[in-house]
Amino acid sequence: MKKSDVTILGLALFAMFFGAGNLIFPPAIGNQVGLDWFVAMLGFFATGIGMPILGVIAVIKAGGGIMDFGKHVGQRFSLVFGLVIAFILGPFMGVPRTGATTFEMGLEPLFPGLPSVYVILVFFALTWLLSIKQSSIIDIIGKWLTPILVVLLVTIVSVGVIKGVGSPATSNPDAFKIGFTGGYQTMDLFVAVMLGAIILKTLKDKGCQESQFVSITRKAGLIAAAGLILIYGGLLFLGAHGQDLLSGLSSRSMMTVTLVQNILGHTGSLILGISVSFACLTTSIGITAAASAFFDEVTPKWLSYNKIVSLSVVLSSAMALGGVEFIVGIAGPLLTIIYPLGIVLVIMNLFNNYIPFKASYRWTVAATSLVSIPAGISEFGIFSDAINQLINSLPWADIGLPWLLPALIGYSVSFIYYGMKRSTKKKKIQPQY
C-alpha cells in the first residue's frame, strides 16, 4: 500500500468517527470542568478517540465482523452484543441524535419558533428515501459538506483561541472522570465495531497482505486521531474558557451554537447550521443502512431490509422528538453498562495471542458486567444510593474505572483456574513406571 493510500485510509477513519452530532459534547465537558480542562481532555481522548482507533485494530485482528468481536465469549453473546450495538447506534440513540441535533444546532437558531416535528419528519423522510434507494447523492453531499464543516471547525477553534472567549472560572475534582465517561457518548467505539469489516475490505482491495493489516491501520489511525484531537480538543478548550459566556445554558447544542456566534458571528452560525445539518443527514443515512443490513442478516427472512429501514426510521423519529438532552439522558445509563464491556473486549482482542485460555474472555466480561450493569441501573434512579456507595468504594472509581479491578480479578482467577486444570490433566496422562 502506498503512503497516499494510508493517508486516504486515515482520512476515511476520521470521517467514520467524526460525527456532527458529537460536536455538542466537548464544549459541554469543558464548561463543566473549567480550570481542569486539560485533565478532562485526556479522559475524553481515551474513550472518545483512543478506544475507537484501537477498536478498529481489535476488530480486524478478530476477523473483521461484528460477530467476530465477541466470539471468544460465545456466539450468543456476540449476537446479543451486536444487536445492542446496532440498536444503540441506529434507531435508539445514534440516529435520533442526528435528527435532534439538526434541529437544535442547524435550524432552530436560524428560525426561532420553528416546530421541531416538521424538521424531524422531513429529516427522517430523507433518511428513509436515501437509505432505501442507496442513492449516490448522499455520497456527493458528504464529500463536499464534511470538508467544509472540518474547515469551518478548524477556523472556529483557531479564531477562538486567538481572539479568546474568556477564562475558566471554576474547577472540578472529577475532571478526568467527566471526560472519560463523557467520551462514551460519542459511541465511536461501537462505530469501529460496526464498520470494521469495511476497513478490512478496503485493505484487501488495496492488495495488502494479512500481516500488514494491523500496522497499516495503526498508521491510518494516527492520522485520524490527529484530526479528532485538533477539533474535539479545541472545542473542549473553548468550552472551558467560555464558562462565563455559557453560564446559565443547560442545552449542549446551544453551548456550541453560542460559542460559534461569539467567535464568527451570525454568518458563522449560519454556515455551521447548514454544514451540521447535511453532515448529520449523511451520518443518519450511513448508520441506518449499516444497522439495518446487520438486522437483515440476523433476523427472519420475512423481515426484509426495506421493512427494517422503515421501522428504524419510525422509531428514530419518535426518539428524536424528545430532543438531544432526552436522548443523551437515555443513552447515558445504557452506555455506562455496555461501554466498559467494549473496552475490555478491545484490549483482550488486541492481546489475544497472549491469552492462553479463551475462557478468560467470559470470566473477564462477566466480572466487568458485575459493576457496569449496577452502575447503569443506578443512573436510571434505581437503588442509586446503595449502588453508588458500593461502586464508589472500589479502586479507581474516582476516575471512572470502578470496573477495572473486577475485570483484572476475573481474568486472573480464570488464568489460575484453567492453568491448574491444565497442569492436573497433564499429570494424569503422564505414563506410570
Residues of the chain with CATH 1.20.1730.10: 3-331
Which residue's entry shows cell 446559565? 248
Would you state the pLDDT for residue 2? 67
Would you state the pLDDT for residue 136? 57
Would you state the pLDDT for residue 12? 79
Would you state the pLDDT for residue 150? 85
User: What's the pLDDT tens digit per position in 53-83?
Assistant: 999 999 999 888 888 999 999 999 999 999 9
- The CATH number that domain 3-331 falls under is 1.20.1730.10
How many Å apart are CA 36 and CA 22, to the nearest integer? 21
Would you state the pLDDT for residue 423? 80
Would you state the pLDDT for residue 9? 83
Query: Which candidate, 339, 333, 405, places its Cα nearest to that of 374?
Result: 333
Dihedral of CA atoms 13, 14, 16, 19 in degrees, nearest 10, equals 170
User: What's the pLDDT tens digit per position in 16-41?
Assistant: 788 777 889 999 999 999 999 999 99
Would you state the pLDDT for residue 104? 92
Q: How confident is the chain (433 residues) per 10-residue block, as mean pLDDT?
A: 76 81 92 96 96 93 88 93 92 93 90 91 92 64 72 90 90 96 94 83 77 85 93 96 91 92 88 84 86 87 89 96 93 94 96 94 97 94 89 94 97 94 73 55
**3 state SS for the chain:** CCHHHHHHHHHHHHHHHCCHHHHHHHHHHHHHHHHHHHHHHHHHHHHHHHHHHHHHHHHHHHCCCHHHHCCCCCHHHHHHHHHHHHHHHHHHCHHHHHHHHHHHHHHCCCCCCCCHHHHHHHHHHHHHHHHHHCCCHHHHHHHHHHHHHHHHHHHHHHHHHHHCCCCCCCCCCCHHHHHHHHHHHHCHHHHHHHHHHHHHHHHHHCCCCHHHHHHHHHHHHHHHHHHHHHHHHHHHHHHHHCCCCCCCCCCHHHHHHHHHHHHHHHHHHHHHHHHHHHHHHHHHHHHHHHHHHHHHHHCCCCCCHHHHHHHHHHHHHHHHCCCHHHHHHHHHHHHHHHHHHHHHHHHHHHCHHHCCCCHHHHHHHHHHHHHHHHHHHHHCCCCHHHHHHHHHCCCCHHHCCCCHHHHHHHHHHHHHHHHHHHHHHHHHHCCCC
Would you state the pLDDT for residue 196? 79
Would you state the pLDDT for residue 137? 56
